[in-house]
Structure 1
Amino acid sequence: MDTLETRELRYFVAVAEDLHFGRAAQRLGIAQPPLSRAIQQLERRLGVRLLERDRQGVSLTDAGSVLLVEGRATLEAASAAARRTRRAVAQRGTLVLTVKAAGSHELLRKVLDAYAAEPGAVAVEVLPSGLCDQAQMLRDGRADVALLHTPFNSLAGFDSEQLSSEGQVAILPATNPLASRSSVTVAEVSDLPGLPMARWPQRDGSFLPGPGPAISDVSQLAQLIALGRTVAVFPESARSWLWAEHRAVPVVDAPVVGTHIAWPAHSSSLAVAALVRSALGR
């Protein structure tokens, strides 16, 4: 049975991501010749060509594309295992729960209170994260459990249970004409004159082009909405952080948001299981 070493996967993923042996070697802190030999040896052992090399550079074969996806997942799982193992010793009896900053505050409080009342409950460290960082923190071992929001977060690779569902609202400056409406549509919010939609960072930290301000956290967003510079659409629970200068108006055609408690599919943690049971009221 073929087995792959972590070192081999790390080498291959670096080359596959950079598509350049020199840059990958520099990133790995090794010389280029041993890196090239390691990739050639990996191809011989697997019996497939992973990379095409020509005068134009390096490109992935179909097999290489598969191994890039699988290799990233394997390296991530190995890193998560090491991180959780170290934390089990350093923070004995502690669970790390990651949540979107300023999101689902009331639900989070209910979950924490219900679990704290359970016999044998351990300490729970709440780790606020960026807009869609919770899933990555769960995958790489920085967190043991997370509150994820569909359709914004993917539940792929996790076990999960849905805790609630809610509609979405437009967060508007109180002085805007739409603020007095009983409801609005996505199109109406997206096309407001002088109020471009806020732009949030993507996974790589970059922002998509557009006229709206680049926003990194909810406090920035709150201030710019109050100043009449932008608008945003959020789950209904966002009402908990609104200022007097804001108005929340239901968006009738926005997708329903589901809040899920999620954890690694392979988790055998009794503390995680107890937290999930208490969150579900079982």
Structure 2
Amino acid sequence: MELRQLRYFVTVAEELHFGKAAERLAIVQPAVSQQVARLERELGLRLLDRTSRRVTLTGDGERMLREARAVLAAADRATEVAAELAAGQAGVFRIGSSAGLRERLDRGLSALRAAAPGIEIKVSSRPPAEQIEAVRTGELDVAFVRGPVAAGGVRAVPLWEEPLSVLLPAAFRDDGGVKLADLAELPLRLPPRPEDPALTDRLLLACREAGFEPVAGRPVDTFEDAVVEMTNGSPAWMVVYGNACDTADGALWMGPFAPPMTVTGQLVVRDAPAPPCLDVLVQAFS
């Protein structure tokens, strides 16, 4: 099945006349008839009833007309997206990202490449404040950050709510969800605030609302190093992005909070001009 066949079928269905459809498409009538007949053979459906006097849609044809219009609209939009992106960004789209967003990026970039197959995509990872500044100055086209965004020259579009999970000694495991108050005596390990202010601010506020000031543990240099240290006798708790694991093996356990905790993920763009096809980006990365 080709887009050309769908376009011919839609035109005939709208005109209910092969001759008029051919005139509208600026091709000869036999070509229209052949392609529509070929589409019917490939689908195994009769889409049109033809007599010497008139052409009408069958029940299958009416259903197929709706679907064909949707497919053609998507194809036309993809062409527009590709043209806008290429014209607006000289074929390069620059994205700022944060740790833990690989799955979302993979899914969104696949959708973006489908819409604009010729575009070159460059992804850079840096602290949120640097991403926001890079968007403001035009060094980046968009950025994905977690938490509130308060900066001039940019605007943030909320896209998703990201769950937070707790990683802690297995003795504190609670499959129903860990209560923050139960962690008041255990050191909290966080990355340096400039690297992830959304996580730091969210956790400190939640602990204070739970009635305690958390015990400050050593800053987290890398997640892997902190896990090794905690596994080998440095009790503490950390917070990680994403859904909790279902199983618990060894010295550590990862699970949900009770009540659940989340942070908002946002797409940061320049105030003006906005990047081409902002609606496509929002849909792709939501």
Q: TM-score, normalised by structure 1?
A: 0.52
> Residue 29 of structure 1 corresponds to which residue in structure 2?
none
> 1:139-169: per-residue Cα shift (whole Å, max 9, x none)?
344422111212xx42554333332213321
| Residue pair 2:107, 2:284 contacting (<8 A) in 1 also | no
Q: Is the 1:199–1:213 Cα contact (8 Å) retained in structure 2?
A: yes
Q: Which has the higher helix share?
A: 2
In the alignment, the residues of structure 2 paired with residue 106 and residue 260 of structure 1 have an alpha-carbon distance, to the nearest angstrom, of 15
Instruction: Please tell me whether the aligned partners of residues 128 and 195 of structure 2 are also in contact (alpha carbons under 8 angstroms).
Output: no
Q: Aligned residue for 1:128?
A: 125
State whether residues 231 and 251 of structure 2, in contact with CA within 8 Å, keep that contact through their aligned partners in structure 1: yes
Task: Identify the residue that residue 239 of structure 2 maps to in structure 1.
Answer: 233
- Gaps in structure 1 of 5+ consecutive residues: 1-87
How large is the RMSD of aligned CA atoms in angstroms?
3.8
The 1:268/1:260 distance shift into structure 2, 3 A limit, reads closer
Letter matched to residue 149 of structure 2: S
1:145/1:237 Cα in 2 relative to 1: closer, same or farther (>3 Å)? farther
Letter aligned with residue 194 of structure 2: R
Letter of the aligned partner of 1:202 in structure 2?
A: R
Find 2:164's aligned residue among 164, 168, 171: 168
What pairs with 1:40-189 in structure 2 (closer than 5 Å)?
92-101=90-99, 103-119=100-116, 122-130=119-127, 133-150=130-147, 153-154=148-149, 156-157=151-152, 158-173=154-169, 176-189=170-183
Whole-angstrom CA distance in 2 between matches of 1:235 and 1:204: 14
Distance in 2, Cα, partners of 1:162 & 1:256: 13
Aligned partners of 2:130, 2:233: CA distance in 1, in Å?
Answer: 28
Structure 2 residue ranges without an equivalent (≥5):
1-85, 205-213
Matched residue, 2:267: 261
> 1:161 and 1:269, CA in 2 relative to 1: closer, same or farther beyond 3 A?
closer
Q: How far apart, in 2, do the equivalents of 1:243 and 1:124 lie?
A: 39
Write out per-residue CA displacement over residues 224-250 of structure 1, whole angstroms, 9 at most, x where no aligned residue: 3433433212332586xx997642211
Contact 1:104 1:237 in 2 (8 A): no
Q: Supply the AA of the counterpart residue of 2:273.
A: S
**Does 2:221 correspond to 1:216?**
yes
Q: Are the counterparts in 2 of residues 170 and 231 from structure 1 also a CA contact under 8 Å? A: yes
**Change over 3 Å in CA distance of 1:110–1:200 after alignment to 2:** same
Aligned partner of 1:93: which letter? G
- Residue 108 of structure 2: SS of its match in structure 1? helix
Q: Which entry has the higher C-alpha Rg, 1 or 2? A: 2
Partner of 2:284: 278
Look up the SS of the partner of 2:193 in the other structure: coil
Report percent identity of matched pairs.
Answer: 21
Q: Output the amino acid matched with 2:123.
A: V
Alignment partner of 1:202 out of 189, 193, 200: 193
